[in-house]
Structure 1
Amino acid sequence: MKADLTRLQILSAVGRHGSMAAAADELRYTSSAISQQISKLESELGVELVERHARGVRLTEAGRAVVVRARAIDEQLDGMKDDLRELAGGFTGTVRFGVFPTFAASLLPDVVIGLRETHPGIRLSVHSSRIAPLQELLETRQLDLALTWDYPWNRTVDEGLTVREILSDSTVLIVRRDHELAHADTVELSDLSNDDWIVRAGGHPTAEHLWRCAHTAGFRPTVAVEASDYQETQAMVAAGLGVTLCPQLATSYVRGEVVVKRLAASVPPRRICTARPSDVKPSVASLRLEGLLHKVVKGYNLSQG
């Protein structure tokens, strides 16, 4: 059984008015056109829908049952139109957002809270992972937007992604509070040529960052410990096993036994960027999220100034 939606709406109008002429006036049809459409609907459904009498028409029991369903359909259609308007305006929708762990542990809560306050209808589906898996999820269109990071020597180059920098994340030094450089304003990397070093394990880019910067500073670092994350590296520094470099964003939580020191400009920052598939038109909701990211990052920069 198949019923034309327009004919269902015509039947609803006839039922409201009890007159084909009045329904025709409302819908801007001729009376004969209304009559023809009702006849076609009766043929589609295989039942009589209206009874004609001297003063007009009235719905049969079957006609009344159909109108009840038709009105429910109209309400659903109106709701659908409202949903589409909300989506088009960026007030609702789901954004699949990829982040890396140091951002998730530091600034992501501000992003989530800000989004709930400004656009409570937007749902954020967050996936936290390392950079390579995030890029793969972007390339397979499983993420709408993700954050990536790189250094000058390993810039992200992917024609399939649109990449925009949002934050320059300084490289900092972490030493024990009793280290001889703990009270220095700014530290040159060459001042640490005789120290033991704690680095991220598994070929992490920050380890290569240390090797490259140390080579520029004229020494080869002695690695004492390879750690799995930044909290572990802090614990190793606190235990007196060495010193470490890390991005400033990874120092949102600092152990009491260590201090964070600024490094000279010869140690470059990492670049944090938004990335999205180039061949997919971004939703308004994802653009609103990207705007909020810029706002949160700006606040973070001001707090670090």
Structure 2
Amino acid sequence: MDLNSVHHYRIDWITSFVAVAHHGSFSAAAKSLYRSQPRVSSHVAALERLVGRRLVDRSVQPSILTPEGRGLLPHAEEIIRRLDMLAGTAEGTVCGTVRLGCYPSVAAYLYPRVVRALRSSHPQIRLVLHEGPSLELGAQLADGGIDMAVRPLHPLVNSHRVTSQVLWREPLVAVLRADHPLAAADGVTLAQAARLPVISIGESDDGHSRQYETNLAFANMDLHPVVSERTNQPQTLICLVRHGLGIGITNALAMTTADTDGVSLVPLVDAGCQRVVAAWWRLNEGPSPAVEAVRDCLSRLDPPKWPWPAASGAAAEPLPTAG
């Protein structure tokens, strides 16, 4: 942006030009702007001298725009529209662009819902999706790369500059090939799962695998399964299971937002551990009204529902705010 050239353009010149284009005459434009006709005419003439082109054909009545004027008009209208938005911000309208980080299953489930809700409650707020693994989202939030995140409490975010509010809890599920003997069971125990190759959440070399809920669940039962594969992509986990590479252990939302053809989802009956999903934001000196509006919108959305009636109520129960 060349600020040295931009400052030559006066807003009243642009306003008068747009008014003449909309009303079809200098007199009507002057009336709509509560200005004199000579002043409106001088504004348009000054703009024409600056751009070096005739913008209004004054030889006909009512006045019409020249081809150059018609080309310039959309840009002039956009300037006026943006100034209206700027004025609204100054007057207290909540607006802004909020960068929201989500991991894949939350991006699929939650992001479309919060966008639609904001269009009704805060139409001047624009969300921009940043999708990535939970560890990356935590680092981006702490460093200012995103404004908010929806991610689990685990793995932990190693920063005192962020805080969170729990949105929902969700159970862990076993993912089995449709022809597996346990696929038709009402539930699977961790001991049963530990006897099979396990496909789990996380990355094989991220150094944080023990913090994921699947690993915590096995550790709490003093079980040490062979983890054959790790992935943060729900559809990849399903494909690995579908090809017989092991039993998948993951969070429920990941499976309810994916194509589960060829596999069966069976609740883990003794996991003793759930995924706790929260909205995260930075602790700034001056809180952002746009971020606060998004946060409020997220807290009002219905939590996910699970395929197992016994799990739905417990999974949706909120927990206290975590700092």
If the length of structure 1 is used for normalisation, what is the TM-score? Answer: 0.65
1:285 equivalent among 287, 290, 295: 290
Describe the SS at the equivalent of 2:280.
Answer: strand
TM-superposed CA distance for 1:295, in Å, is: 2.5
Residue 120 of structure 1 corresponds to: 123
TM-superposed CA distance for 1:144, in Å, is: 2.1
Whether 1:130 and 2:149 are equivalent positions in the alignment is: no
Distance across 1 between alignment mates of 2:81 and 2:235: 52
Distance across 1 between alignment mates of 2:39 and 2:183: 87
Residue 201 of structure 1 corresponds to: 203
Distance across 2 between alignment mates of 1:126 and 1:300: 20
Flag the 1:223–1:159 CA change in 2: closer, same or farther, 3 A: closer
2:217 equivalent among 207, 213, 231: 213
Describe the SS at the equivalent of 1:293.
Answer: helix
Residue 295 of structure 1 corresponds to: 300
TM-superposed CA distance for 1:271, in Å, is: 1.9
Describe the SS at the equivalent of 2:304.
Answer: helix
Residue 14 of structure 1 corresponds to: none
Distance across 2 between alignment mates of 1:81 and 1:208: 45
RMSD of aligned residue pairs (Cα, Å)? 3.6
**Deviation per CA, 1:53-112, whole angstroms, max 9, x where unpaired?**
xxxxxx9x899958x99xxxxx999947742256x232x322122222221122211222
Q: Compare CA radii of gyration and give the structure with the larger one.
A: 1
Residue 162 of structure 1 corresponds to: 163
Residue 174 of structure 1 corresponds to: 175
Could you tell me whether the CA contact under 8 Å between 1:162 and 1:277 is conserved in 2? yes
Flag the 1:217–1:255 CA change in 2: closer, same or farther, 3 A: same
Flag the 1:126–1:177 CA change in 2: closer, same or farther, 3 A: same
Amino acid across the alignment from 2:228? A
Could you tell me whether the CA contact under 8 Å between 2:167 and 2:299 is conserved in 1? yes
TM-superposed CA distance for 1:174, in Å, is: 0.7
| Bigger fraction of residues in strand | 1
Distance across 2 between alignment mates of 1:293 and 1:273: 10
Residue 238 of structure 1 corresponds to: 242
Residue 250 of structure 1 corresponds to: 254
Whether 1:192 and 2:196 are equivalent positions in the alignment is: no
Could you tell me whether the CA contact under 8 Å between 1:201 and 1:207 is conserved in 2? no
Whether 1:276 and 2:269 are equivalent positions in the alignment is: no
Amino acid across the alignment from 1:123? R
If the length of structure 2 is used for normalisation, what is the TM-score? Answer: 0.62
Distance across 2 between alignment mates of 1:117 and 1:201: 38
Flag the 1:142–1:113 CA change in 2: closer, same or farther, 3 A: same
| Unaligned segments of structure 1, at least 5 residues | 1-58, 70-74
What are the within-5 Å matches in structure 2 for residues 69-84 of structure 1? 79=84, 82-84=87-89
Distance across 2 between alignment mates of 1:160 and 1:80: 31
Residue 20 of structure 1 corresponds to: none
| Unaligned segments of structure 2, at least 5 residues | 1-35, 47-79, 314-323
Describe the SS at the equivalent of 1:187.
Answer: coil
Flag the 1:80–1:213 CA change in 2: closer, same or farther, 3 A: closer
Distance across 1 between alignment mates of 2:96 and 2:108: 25
1:150 equivalent among 150, 153, 169: 153
Describe the SS at the equivalent of 2:167.
Answer: strand
Amino acid across the alignment from 1:202? S
